[in-house]
Amino acid sequence: MIQPIWQAQYQPGVPNELEPPPFSSLVDLFTRTCQRFADKVAFENFGATLTYHQLEQQSRQFAAYLQHILELKKGDCVAIMLPNVLQFPIALFGILRAGLVFTNINPLYTSDELTHQLRDSNAKVIIVLENFAHTVAQALPETDLKHVIVTHLGDSLPFPKAQVINFMLKYVKKAIPNWHIPNAIWFNQLLNDGNDLGLCPVTLNDDDIACLQYTGGTTGQAKGAVLLHRNLLANVDQVIAWTADTLEVGKEIVITALPLYHVFALTVNLFAFFRLGARNVLISNPRDIPRFITQLIRTRFTFITGVNTLFNALLHHPKFDQIDFSSVKFSIAGGMAVQQSVAQAWQKRTGTVLLQGYGLTEASPVVSMNPLDVKKYNSSIGLPLPSTHIGIFDEQGQALSIEETGELWVKGPQVMAGYWQSPQLTNQVITQEGWLKTGDLAKVDAQGFIYLIDRKKDMINVSGFKVFPNEVEEVIADYPDVDEVGVIGMPCVQTGEQVIAFVTVNDKPSFDSQQLLAHCHDHLTGYKIPKQIIVVDQLPKTNVGKVLRRQLRELAQAQLQV
């Protein structure tokens, strides 16, 4: 274990260690926060707003229905399959208030992926946006689901906006495939019925399970991280302690483009900013960049989170410079490595540093973050948060020293209890001493800043030499004609593995791959230079913008016949 040298770099006022959270559960946090900020706007979506008081009322109605009509008991699991809409926080806090466990599901999942998570989590109920109800209908016979709650996109919007949006989606854009689910429960009717029912308080403590948060599945089948109330409460406290001198209680406006079903947005954008009494602007479809840009232009926001690909897409939109960044205190990127070219362009055009942080589902998720007073992008994923300890270890589990590269291990109150119903998998990643093996290769400098090298599983071995995809991607992304890049390793008879690069370009007819290779020769050692550059229209990604290297390997197999 590396001694906590990073604490000397903490901003004034950031404690080295935190006291246990002042709340007994997320429900305790919720009820006290709603009382404190009752008349303030908690969430905004499509121009409609939901105050803290309204959220308290509607989540209570949702919880009461789950208890009395659906007869769910403490610890039962409810799945949420929603994008960023007002129904999401209503459902989530309703589930928690009923003493239940929630599991977030990507609405773009296939029926096979959905079936796996529903069966693995033992979910009894699912709430789903009607646009994706057909997937639930396909999966339903293979699951133990008892009830399906369906909501229209406009259900939490006022008249006539709700009717217009619902009509346009169904009859004009035809964005709702046909579906049939016997005895489906409609969200608004549920709230109406729940209004006549009383909520039965459930005793919760910080050791109760709050969430089964499934890993993204970018390298294989998803597995559920068991996040206790205390794990999430601790991570919320860590984030707030880190930002206390910058963020103001009751005055922040946060842009939430990352989906709330992603653990980073769940903890930082939802729980942490909720506790601060912030106004949370939910972006339902961040891939619709023109509409997203329009929202940013008309919102005087103070904070935004995203991933590298999202910030890159925003920068390339012709109306980006119309956005007013004068109130923005900082921007945070997580989920994937930030490319230097994107970070530099963001700072030049917005006047704000694009701060890089790091986390993983198994750590609720935030492990480290750059101090808010850094002056420019530094390629580091920051310093460990208060009460977080890290170590760099070799393949034999021996601790390494400063500037040595090895696997990053993490210990802290935010580390999960384990994988759901998988003690063997848990023992593979959590040691007897409580260290979480992240699977990420990193090094720590003399000041305690962590530098992420790459995913251990994604490392490429060329004739015995290690090649880290992130390093190659960084060089290629700096080439002017390249918009996005993904690098993988593929089998090679001569060298064991070879480097393959997939790129999207801004002018396909004029793009010259030989010139890009020449650029790589100028900046990379020979064995790191791609053997093939493949131009594609788009890179396969998760819904939060992470490049799916597993799918790139499948594309390479098909195109290169290796």
The CATH number that applies at residue 500 is 3.30.300.30
Q: In the chain, count of helices (H) and strands (E)?
A: 17, 26
Q: Please give the backbone phi and psi of residue 305, each rounded to the nearest 5 degrees, phi first.
A: -120, 160
pTM: 0.87
The HSE-up count of residue 46 (CA atoms within 13 Å, CB side) is 20
Q: Does any domain span residue 270? A: no
- Residue 109 falls inside a structural domain: yes
Amino acid at 418: G
Report the chain's C-alpha Rg in angstroms: 23
Q: Which two tokens stand for residue 340?
A: 């230097």
Q: Assess if residue 491 is contained within a domain.
A: yes
Domain, as residue range, for 466: 459-560
175-207 core/surface letters (b: 16 or more CB in 10 A; e: else): ebeebebeebbebeebbeebeebebeebebebe
Q: Classify 389 as helix, strand or coil.
A: strand
Is 518 among the domain residues? yes
Two tokens, residue 549 = 């290297």
Q: Give pLDDT, residue 562.
A: 45
Last residue of a domain, one of 136, 169, 204: 204
The CATH number given to whatever domain includes residue 154 is 3.40.50.980
Give the whole-angstrom CA distance, residue 334 versus residue 357.
Answer: 5
The answer to whether 423 and 407 are in contact (CB under 8 A) is no
Using alpha carbons, list the distances in angstroms from residue 336 to 1, 55, 283, 307, 360.
25, 32, 20, 6, 10
The sign of the torsion formed by the CA atoms of 339, 340, 342, 346 equals positive
Asked, for residue 6, whether it belongs to a domain, the answer is: no
Q: Is residue 420 part of a domain?
A: no
Using DSSP bridges, classify how beta strands 123-129 and 147-151 pair: parallel, antiparallel or unpaired: parallel
pLDDT of residue 468: 82
Number of domains in the chain: 2
The confidence score (pLDDT) of residue 218 equals 38
User: Would 229 be classed as within a structural domain?
Assistant: no
10-residue block means of pLDDT along the chain (562 residues)? Answer: 93 96 97 98 97 98 98 98 98 98 93 93 98 97 97 94 90 92 97 96 96 70 92 98 96 96 95 98 95 97 92 94 96 85 95 94 97 94 97 95 96 98 94 95 96 85 79 92 93 85 91 94 89 93 82 85 52
